[in-house]
Structure 1
Amino acid sequence: MFGARGRRRVPASIRTQVPTAEAPNGTVPNGTVPNGVDENLPPGLRLAAAWSWRLLALTAAIAVFIFIVIQLRLIVIPVLVAVLVSALLVPLVGFLVRHRWPRGLAVAAALLGTLAVVAGLITLAVTQIAVGTVGLNDRVAASYQSLKAVLLASPLQLTEPELNAFLQQVWKAVQADSQVFVSGALTVGSSLGHLLTGLLLALFSLLFILIDGRGIWAWVVRIFPQRARAAVDGAGTVGWAALGNFAKVQILVASIDAVGIGVGAALLGVPLAIPIGVLVFLGSFIPIIGAVAAGAVAVVIALIFNGWVVALLMLGVVLLVQQVEGHVLQPLIMGTAVKVHPLGVVLAVAAGSLLAGIAGALFAVPVAAVLNVMITYINSGVWRDVPPTTVPVARSPLWQTVPQRPGFRRTGYRIEKSATHD
């Protein structure tokens, strides 16, 4: 009952019942351990166990969320497309409204203008393809025979059976690697009806975001508890700004890639230069994978129509444009707009393509960028200083990308307290 110095020793059964705060290493401040924890376990093992069950719970929650998204992909993908497009059109609508356009007319002009641009690009590409593919089978056969003759006469000393076996292996590898993207395309719509339904859902979602984005965001904020609304509203603001910056910068990068490769194909006399440019523009929205695939298509077209010499020159043009994008455009432009490390971009695209094919690769980087800035904002704790009266409906990130709360100023993606605010 008493220690060596006469102080009374509290039994372990009573000591563990005292409600004290748990320390990070699994013990309580006075050196004991909480109820239900074996005292004989090392502190490191208790710490590992505490982290393990939390990580397992977090992983299970993420897995359930991903499962639900995959099951509802026919709804989620069109809505994500609408959100991504609205990040471009909401500032345009705001610009027209500030120049005394009626809001309804501004929304209609932005929506119809976007549809006209997309339809024009598709029509131009389809028309050029229809004109340029006349006699395609004969040209493919002639190009194949020419390439085979060059390889057989090369110092490699290949025989025709070996060359045929090699080409068959290459074709099987291409088919195997393309299964991920084919399955991803099928997830968007396994039939024409699914595709049309998704298109209509995306258009309706885009229309309602442009018309009543403020009400939609206010409803989302009201779902959360009162104490969390400041954090949700601020995180949504910086996330929306990041998404808008990504969309604008991605269009700029895609346009530069399309012009560079398309002009290079036209100068080399490669047919279908305009469809190649359109394909590169669309493919550039999928980082890394899309640009490489579009460049490979340009090289194949040059090989079929112009021979292997022009194909090698076309490959040089594609590599030059990709190097400019990778070493100049991505670090200087995209790196400033999207605060995601290049390794994170690669891993996000790989994970997205494995989970959802083309759709996953398309949305991987914007989702990663938005989550990055939102988590950074919440961890910064700036939202704790935001007065509750500034949180509700009036300042929605769907309509205002730069917060105008009194006493705060914007620095990049962070919102800092102004030094002049009292």
Structure 2
Amino acid sequence: MNEQAESSPSSSSPIGRIAAITVTIVAIVGVAWLLVELAGFLMLVFASLVLAAIFDAMTRRVCKITRMKRGLGLGLSVTLILAVFAGVFTLFGTQLAGEFDTIRQSIPPAIQQVQDFLRQIGLGGTLDNLLQDGSNDISGYLAQAGSYVLTAGNGLANFVLVFVGAIFIASDPAVYRRGLLLLIPQKAEASVARALDDASRGLGGWMTGQAVSSLVVAAFTWLGLFLLGVPASGGLGLIAGLLDVIPMIGPIISGIPAVLLAFTVSPATALWTVGLFLLVQQIQGNFLQPMIQKHAVDVPPAVLLFAVVAAGLLFGFIGVLLAAPLTVVVYVLIQRIYVSTLLGKEIKVAGQD
């Protein structure tokens, strides 16, 4: 009897370990599947967090200046943002709409002019086919981007969801922070709290620097194209400023329609347009990007590039748009939780010299 009692734990122990391993694997696979299925929803949540960080920064600044309570400060901040966008669309909406229509109508003739120019200089064979394939690829990518937006849900409904969610989060971010920390084991709570603080500073710094960078890129691009006589310079400048949010790839995409429209003026204008975009990129890379990294976190350029590609493959068009802030947050969390806490190595804290 004693031998049977002693042998039963040892015989059941391997079965228990196998069961525990099986349950763990099933749980991991289930969580991974759930994350994949909810990828679009999770990106909308992250978009709300990014917008909430903007609201929070503005609210703190308004409350500091006016000494009003946070609720009133948040309401004033949101009202100011809506008023700025409404004013811009009221003053320049018709003009920008006309310029975007000009861009849409001018792209096909511009491609034809490029093809004619290549034939004239004796490069109409391979390069002509390459240009045609490239134009088809651009059209396909634009159509695919549109499908990404549509498959993410109704655009207006998603925007309202993100906007309202950001207001709720920004109204009292400490509540959501405390709720998240309650789910963390007590031993790791201090490290996770510091990681959240680092991520908040890094994201806030990135947004401040990126806003300045986008405005400067848009202004320089518009002014340069205007002086070169390129049609729809205002719309092209706005596109360049908006796409500046996408690291590495955005400036290339914004330069394609500008060069094509410049060909409708002359090949020399197109060449000067290429030089203009190279100059703007030098300004952005040597002056604006270091400013962003100083206030946020120094993410290596190759990491940003591959992050954009990975985010596009995983989350679609909205992933590409949010690739930079998502990379900043993940990079900061890895530094604080893994490099600093688990490995015990020194790190450079985001947003601090």
| Correspondences of 1:124-135 after superposition (within 5 Å) | 126-132=93-99
Q: Going by fraction, where is helix more abundant, 1 or 2?
A: 2
Taking a change above 3 Å as real, the CA distance of residues 154 and 84 of structure 1, as seen in their structure-2 partners, is same
Supply the distance in 1 between the matched residues of 2:306 and 2:111 (Cα, whole angstroms).
37
Letter of the structure 2 residue corresponding to residue 270 of structure 1? V
The structure 1 residue matched to 2:38, chosen from 72, 78, 85, is 72
Structure 1 or 2, whichever has the larger Rg, is 1
Judge conservation of contact 1:235–1:373 (CA < 8 Å) in 2.
yes
Structure 2 Cα separation of the partners of residues 228 and 163 of structure 1: 58
Equivalent residue in structure 2 for 1:265, among 220, 225, 238: 225
Q: 1:135 to 1:101 in 2, by over 3 A?
A: closer
**1:153 and 2:120 aligned:** yes
- Contact 2:297–2:328 (CA<8 Å) still a contact in 1? yes
Structure 2 partner of 1:418: none
* Residues 114 and 133 (structure 1), Cα distance of their counterparts in 2 relative to 1, 3 Å cut: closer
Give the corresponding residue for 1:239.
Answer: 199
Provide TM-score, normalisation by structure 1. 0.67
Judged with a 3 Å threshold, the aligned counterparts in structure 2 of structure 1 residues 134 and 114 are, in CA distance, closer, same or farther, namely: closer
Give the aligned residue type for 1:413.
A
The answer to whether the 8 A contact 1:221-1:233 is kept is yes
Pair 1:340 & 2:299 matched: yes
The structure 2 residue matched to 1:101, chosen from 68, 77, 85, is: 68
Which structure 2 residues correspond to residues 240-255 of structure 1 after superposition, within 5 A? 240-255=200-215
- Residue 261 of structure 1 and its aligned partner are, at CA, apart by 0.8
Aligned pair 1:172/2:136, yes or no? yes
Pair 1:322 & 2:286 matched: no
Structure 1 residue identity aligned to 2:49: V
Gaps in structure 1 of 5+ consecutive residues: 1-34, 37-53, 385-409, 416-422
Distance in structure 2 (CA, Å) of the matches to 1:180 and 1:137: 17
Question: Alpha carbons of 1:166 and 1:295: their partners in 2 closer, same or farther (altered >3 Å)?
Answer: closer
Deviates further, 211-220 or 166-175: 166-175
Gaps spanning 5+ residues in structure 2: where?
A: 1-12, 15-20
Letter in 1 for 2:257: V
**For structure 1, which segment, 63-72 or 268-277, has the greater mean C-alpha deviation from structure 2 after superposition?**
63-72
Shift in Å, 1:249: 1.1
Which residue of structure 2 aligns with residue 398 of structure 1? none
**Shift in alpha-carbon separation, 1:143–1:102, aligned structure 2, 3 A:** same
Give the 3-state SS of the residue equivalent to 2:298 in structure 1. coil
* Alpha-carbon distance in 2 for matches of 1:234, 1:120: 40
Distance 2:54 2:102 in 1: 41
Instruction: Give the alignment's Cα RMSD to 1 decimal.
Output: 3.5
Paired with 2:129 and 2:334, the residues of 1 have a C-alpha distance of 52
Write the letter of the residue equivalent to 1:361: V
What is the CA-CA distance between 1:198 and the residue it aligns to?
1.0
Offset at 1:150?
3.3
Distance 1:357 1:165 in 2: 28
Distance in 2 (CA, whole Å) between partners of 1:296 and 1:252 is: 23
> Which amino acid in structure 2 is aligned with residue 172 of structure 1?
N
Instruction: Report the Cα distance in structure 2 between the residues aligned to 1:205 and 1:220, rounded to whole angstroms.
Output: 17
Partner of 1:378: 337
Distance 1:257 1:319 in 2: 12
Matched, 1:88 2:46: no
Query: 1:275 maps to what in 2?
Result: 235
Q: Which residue identity lines up with residue 333 of structure 1 in the other structure?
A: M
Identity of aligned residues (%): 27
Q: Structure 2 vs 1, CA of residues 72 and 125 (structure 1 numbering), >3 Å: closer, same or farther?
A: farther
Structure 1 residue 248, shift from structure 2 partner: 0.9
Aligned ranges for residues 340-379 of structure 1 at < 5 Å? 340-379=299-338
1:81–1:134 Cα change, 3 Å: closer
Q: Does 1:307 align with 2:266?
A: yes
SS at match of 2:229: coil
Shift of 1:206: 1.2
Normalised by the size of structure 2, how large is the TM-score? 0.79
